[in-house]
Amino acid sequence: MNENYLNQHMNSRIHRGTNITCPWCKNTYPTATGLTTHLESGSCRDGINRETIYNTIRQHDQRRAFTHKMIEGSGGQRFNLTVTATERSWNGRFYECPLCTRECSTLPALNQHLKFPST
Protein backbone atom coordinates (compact mmCIF):
# COMPACT_ATOMS: atom_id res chain seq x y z
CA MET A 1 0.00 0.00 0.00
CA ASN A 2 2.85 2.41 0.81
CA GLU A 3 6.55 2.51 1.63
CA ASN A 4 5.98 2.32 5.40
CA TYR A 5 3.95 -0.91 5.07
CA LEU A 6 6.66 -2.35 2.83
CA ASN A 7 9.36 -1.48 5.39
CA GLN A 8 7.31 -3.05 8.20
CA HIS A 9 6.79 -6.17 6.12
CA MET A 10 10.48 -6.42 5.23
CA ASN A 11 11.38 -6.11 8.93
CA SER A 12 8.81 -8.71 10.00
CA ARG A 13 9.55 -12.24 11.13
CA ILE A 14 8.70 -13.45 7.61
CA HIS A 15 11.89 -11.92 6.22
CA ARG A 16 14.07 -11.44 9.29
CA GLY A 17 13.29 -14.71 11.02
CA THR A 18 13.01 -15.00 14.78
CA ASN A 19 16.53 -15.31 16.08
CA ILE A 20 16.11 -13.38 19.37
CA THR A 21 14.84 -15.63 22.15
CA CYS A 22 13.26 -14.54 25.42
CA PRO A 23 15.54 -15.98 28.12
CA TRP A 24 12.56 -16.75 30.37
CA CYS A 25 9.74 -18.16 28.22
CA LYS A 26 11.72 -19.05 25.05
CA ASN A 27 9.35 -17.16 22.68
CA THR A 28 11.26 -15.82 19.70
CA TYR A 29 11.26 -12.35 18.13
CA PRO A 30 12.72 -10.83 14.96
CA THR A 31 14.12 -7.74 16.73
CA ALA A 32 15.39 -6.65 20.12
CA THR A 33 12.55 -4.12 20.15
CA GLY A 34 10.06 -6.98 19.84
CA LEU A 35 11.64 -8.77 22.80
CA THR A 36 11.72 -5.53 24.81
CA THR A 37 8.03 -4.87 24.14
CA HIS A 38 7.21 -8.46 25.11
CA LEU A 39 9.04 -8.08 28.43
CA GLU A 40 7.98 -4.54 29.33
CA SER A 41 4.32 -5.17 28.57
CA GLY A 42 4.18 -8.03 31.08
CA SER A 43 3.17 -10.59 28.45
CA CYS A 44 6.02 -12.99 29.31
CA ARG A 45 4.44 -16.01 30.96
CA ASP A 46 7.12 -15.98 33.68
CA GLY A 47 5.73 -12.68 35.01
CA ILE A 48 8.62 -10.54 33.83
CA ASN A 49 7.62 -6.90 33.26
CA ARG A 50 9.21 -3.47 33.18
CA GLU A 51 9.23 -3.17 36.96
CA THR A 52 10.96 -6.52 37.55
CA ILE A 53 13.56 -5.67 34.88
CA TYR A 54 14.26 -2.26 36.43
CA ASN A 55 14.46 -3.73 39.94
CA THR A 56 16.96 -6.36 38.77
CA ILE A 57 19.11 -3.72 37.05
CA ARG A 58 18.97 -1.45 40.11
CA GLN A 59 19.97 -4.34 42.36
CA HIS A 60 23.10 -5.04 40.30
CA ASP A 61 23.94 -1.41 39.46
CA GLN A 62 25.68 -0.53 42.73
CA ARG A 63 27.55 2.43 41.21
CA ARG A 64 24.37 3.76 39.58
CA ALA A 65 25.92 3.75 36.09
CA PHE A 66 22.56 2.86 34.52
CA THR A 67 20.05 3.84 37.18
CA HIS A 68 19.55 6.75 39.49
CA LYS A 69 17.82 7.05 42.82
CA MET A 70 14.11 7.43 42.25
CA ILE A 71 11.43 8.86 44.52
CA GLU A 72 11.15 6.69 47.59
CA GLY A 73 8.52 6.27 50.23
CA SER A 74 8.93 5.23 53.83
CA GLY A 75 10.95 2.06 54.18
CA GLY A 76 12.76 2.67 50.88
CA GLN A 77 9.86 1.58 48.67
CA ARG A 78 9.29 3.32 45.34
CA PHE A 79 6.05 5.11 44.72
CA ASN A 80 4.07 3.43 41.96
CA LEU A 81 2.95 6.48 40.01
CA THR A 82 0.42 6.27 37.22
CA VAL A 83 -0.05 9.14 34.80
CA THR A 84 -3.30 9.31 32.84
CA ALA A 85 -3.93 11.90 30.16
CA THR A 86 -7.25 13.72 29.90
CA GLU A 87 -8.87 15.94 27.29
CA ARG A 88 -6.77 18.77 28.73
CA SER A 89 -3.81 17.20 26.87
CA TRP A 90 -5.28 18.45 23.56
CA ASN A 91 -3.03 21.20 22.16
CA GLY A 92 -5.31 22.21 19.32
CA ARG A 93 -3.87 19.69 16.85
CA PHE A 94 -2.83 16.62 18.86
CA TYR A 95 -2.90 15.09 22.34
CA GLU A 96 0.49 16.07 23.79
CA CYS A 97 2.47 14.00 26.29
CA PRO A 98 3.05 16.06 29.45
CA LEU A 99 6.40 14.31 30.03
CA CYS A 100 8.12 14.34 26.63
CA THR A 101 5.84 16.44 24.36
CA ARG A 102 5.23 13.52 21.97
CA GLU A 103 2.06 14.14 19.97
CA CYS A 104 -0.61 11.46 19.51
CA SER A 105 -3.68 11.63 17.30
CA THR A 106 -6.03 10.08 19.89
CA LEU A 107 -6.36 10.16 23.66
CA PRO A 108 -6.17 6.34 23.94
CA ALA A 109 -2.91 6.44 21.95
CA LEU A 110 -1.47 9.01 24.35
CA ASN A 111 -2.47 6.92 27.37
CA GLN A 112 -0.89 3.85 25.73
CA HIS A 113 2.31 5.89 25.30
CA LEU A 114 2.20 6.95 28.97
CA LYS A 115 1.70 3.35 30.10
CA PHE A 116 4.40 1.95 27.77
CA PRO A 117 6.71 4.84 26.75
CA SER A 118 8.42 2.73 24.06
CA THR A 119 5.16 2.72 22.05
- Torsion, Cα of 12, 18, 22, 25 (10° steps): 100
What's the chain's average pLDDT? 78
Number of domains into which the chain is organized: 1
Contact present, 8 and 1 (Cβ < 8 Å): no
Q: Which one is predicted more confidently, 76 or 51?
A: 51
In-domain check, residue 5: no
In-domain check, residue 104: yes
Task: Name the DSSP class of 31.
Answer: S
In-domain check, residue 113: yes
In-domain check, residue 98: yes
Domain interval for residue 91? 82-119
In-domain check, residue 118: yes
Q: For position 107, what pLDDT does the model report?
A: 92
pTM score of the predicted model: 0.43
Looking at this protein, which amino acid is placed at residue 53? I
With 70 as the cut, is the pLDDT of residue 106 above it?
yes
Q: Map residue 20 onto helix, strand or coil.
A: strand
Task: Name the DSSP class of 90.
Answer: B
Least confident of 8-17, 24-33, 64-73: 64-73
In-domain check, residue 17: no
